[in-house]
Each structure stands twice: as C-alpha cells, then as structure tokens.
Amino acid sequence: MRMTIPINNKKVKITVLVCLVALVTLFHFLTPTAPHNYHVAHIVLRKLYFLPPVMAAAWFGLRGAVVTTLAVSILFSLHAFFDWPGNYMEQANQLGELASFWVVALVPGYLFDRQRSLLADIARANEETLLALVSALDLREKKTRMHSQRVRDYTLLLAYRFGVEEKRKRDIGFGALLHDVGKLAVPDQILLKPGELSEPEWEEMRKHPAAGYRIVKRISFLKGAAEIVYAHHEHFDGTGYPRGLKGMEIPLGARLFMVADVYDALTSERPYHAKSSYETAVAMIGAKVGSHFDPAVVDAFMQIERKELQAIAERYQGEIV
C-alpha cells in the first residue's frame, strides 16, 4: 500500500522551509573548516543547502524557488565572507556553489510551473467534455441545457454553507453535475412521456442511478462522484431508491444535492410547468425535512440568502429551447 504524508497547508510548507534553512545554516556555521575531518562534514552540510530551493520549486513553483534561493544565497555568502576572509580562490569556489543553487531552483521551478499549467489544462478539458455531455442530456429531457450546471452551483453553494472541506467539494460538484447521466439508458418513450408513468415504466426509470454509477465509476477521477450519482434519489427516511439508504448512510454529497435539485426543479421554468416563487420553494423544502431531506442540510440551506440563489439562477437563465 502506498503511503503519503500530505503537506497541503501553505503555512506548514513555509515553516518547514524556514526551519530547514535555519538548521542547515546553523550547523554549517558551527562546523569548522579545519581539521580535515571537520572540513568533510562542513562540505556535506553545505550540500544540504540544495534542498530548500528544490523543495520550494516543487511546492511553490518558480516564484517560491527564487525567494528561497535568495535567502539561501545571502546566508551562504555570509559564510564565504566570514569563513574564508581574503581567500579569493576559495571564495570563487563558493561562488560556483552559489550558481548551482540557482540552477537547481530555476530549472525545476519552471518545470513545476509548466506541469501545473498542463494539469490545469487537462482538468479544464475534462470538465468541458463533461459539460458537453450533461448539456446534451439536459436538452434531451428538460429542453434546457443548463439544469445540471445550475444544480451543481446550488449544491456547491450549499456545501460551502454546510462547511464541507475544500477537497470534498470537487467530488460533490462532479456528482451533482453528472447525477442523471444514467438516463442515457432510459428509453425515450419513458423518459419523454408527457403523462404519468405506469409501474413497469417507473421500474425502468428507477434504474438510472445504478446505470449512472456504472458509467461514472469507471472514470478514475470520478470515483467519489459516482457514489453521489448512485445515491441521488435516496430519501433521508429510507423511502428513496435504488437501495433505500437511510440517514447518514446516504453520502453527504447526495444529501446536499437533493435539496439543491428540488429547489431548482421548483424554481425553474419548464415547458410542462410554471415556476414556483422562492417562498413557495423554501416552504416545500421545509415541509419535507426529515422525510426527504437531512435536517442539518436544510438548516444550512435556510441560511443561504435569497440573492445568492438568484445570482446562480440568473447566471443560467434564458436557456430554454
């Protein structure tokens, strides 16, 4: 099993760098340059000065590498000045070392920046591909191509208000965006039927969360989102489908999504129903606390200001075809 030590906090990384530079400087200064044995240790310690610039390049890119190498260069130059006063040959040797610090900082710094930029391009391309897919699905069923994107934004706003940690929001956003991808497997005569569905047709319709799960879980960066897709029709009291999950058995992303999706369904203009007012939608959500919805999630939803929800609605308005 692969083990990693996550050091994601920027302040922690800066503290590690400062401590490392301080420790290397201290031991380097304290270790004498004579006799020979001590000089060997002194030179080995000097090589440790390469670590902070490389680490800064990996963590912060070119800019962080330059700042760190500047600090290392100043401290190292002081050593050359104090330990080798008037020894120009040795000071020239130290100058060469100084140049090496900058090479090992600038080259990886540039490469790490380039890598981050390419990874961001790939992530953007992935997202644009998914947006095209869900837009096509929305157009097919709802005659609007922005439903899933709007629901994603409502869900993420709710996740923020609920205090969900940043790293979980990515899965929640993709889960909300792709929630109905399994409807690809639902025949047109059922999905687009204008009247009530018969029981066998409902049975077919209720298969779409599992179908969506099977599609999404095959994509490695969407495994977390797949769980939300699978559970997006579960109800808090266990009366939902397909597995009848109850309470906290339902993934948090799905509990957040359910409230966002119902709010969107009620407040959106559709060819087959008129939209409800904000007040009506909020009252209808409030009426299903504990049955359909997680009470804690609805509490967080009620704290969202009306204008925040309206800003999202306006972002995607005028998309009915």
Instruction: Identify which of residues 53 and 209 has a Cβ nearer to Fe ion in the complex.
Output: 209
Number of residues that bind Fe ion (CB under 5 A): 1
* Residue showing tokens 């060819």: 271
**Per-residue interface string for the shown chain with Fe ion, residues 196-215, x marking contact by CB under 5 A:** --------------------
Q: Which residue is nearest to Fe ion (CB)?
A: 180
Given a contact cutoff of 8 angstroms between Cβ atoms, the answer to whether 38 and 29 are in contact is no
CB of 202 to Fe ion, least distance (A): 13
CB of 218 to Fe ion, least distance (A): 19
Interface residue with Fe ion among 180, 227, 234, 319 (CB under 5 A) is 180
The reply to whether 319 sits near Fe ion by the rule CB under 5 A is no
CB of 179 to Fe ion, least distance (A): 6
| Nearest-5° Cα angle at 134, 129 to 137 | 135
Q: Which of 56-64, 80-88, 172-180, 188-196 is the region at the interface with Fe ion (rule: CB under 5 A)? A: 172-180
Q: Which of 174-182, 219-227, 252-260, 298-306 is the region at the interface with Fe ion (rule: CB under 5 A)? A: 174-182
The reply to whether 234 sits near Fe ion by the rule CB under 5 A is no
Q: Is the backbone of residue 294 left (phi > 0), alpha (psi -120 to 50) or beta? A: beta
Q: Which of 21-29, 110-118, 127-135, 179-187 is the region at the interface with Fe ion (rule: CB under 5 A)? A: 179-187
For the chain, give the secondary structure using H, E and C. Answer: CCCCCCCCCHHHHHHHHHHHHHHHHHHHHHCCCCCHHHHHHHHHHHHHHHHHHHHHHHHHHHHHHHHHHHHHHHHHHHHHHHHCCCCHHHHHHHHHHHHHHHHHHHHHHHHHHHHHHHHHHHHHHHHHHHHHHHHHHHHHHHCECCHHHHHHHHHHHHHHHHCCCHHHHHHHHHHHHCCCHHHHHCCHHHHCCCCCCCHHHHHHHCCHHHHHHHHHCCCHHHHHHHHHHHCCCCCCCCCCCCCCCCHHHCCHHHHHHHHHHHHHHHHCCECCECCCCHHHHHHHHHCCECCCECHHHHHHHHCCCHHHHHHHHHHCCCCEC
Q: Which of 129-137, 162-170, 173-181, 303-311 is the region at the interface with Fe ion (rule: CB under 5 A)? A: 173-181
Task: Locate 82 and state its tokens.
Answer: 């104090």
Instruction: Identify which of residues 82 and 272 has a Cβ nearer to Fe ion in the complex.
Output: 272
Residues whose CB is less than 8 angstroms from the CB of residue 63 and which lie 6 or more positions away in sequence, other chains included? 109
Q: Which of 86-94, 122-130, 175-183, 266-274 is the region at the interface with Fe ion (rule: CB under 5 A)? A: 175-183
**Per-residue interface string for the shown chain with Fe ion, residues 125-164, x marking contact by CB under 5 A:** ----------------------------------------
Instruction: Identify which of residues 17 and 137 has a Cβ nearer to Fe ion in the complex.
Output: 137
Instruction: Identify which of residues 180 and 319 has a Cβ nearer to Fe ion in the complex.
Output: 180
Instruction: Identify which of residues 56 and 178 has a Cβ nearer to Fe ion in the complex.
Output: 178
Instruction: Identify which of residues 180 and 294 has a Cβ nearer to Fe ion in the complex.
Output: 180
Instruction: Identify which of residues 138 and 180 has a Cβ nearer to Fe ion in the complex.
Output: 180
Q: Which of 17-25, 106-114, 177-185, 287-295 is the region at the interface with Fe ion (rule: CB under 5 A)? A: 177-185
Instruction: Identify which of residues 134 and 300 has a Cβ nearer to Fe ion in the complex.
Output: 134
Residues in touch with Fe ion (CB under 5 A): 180
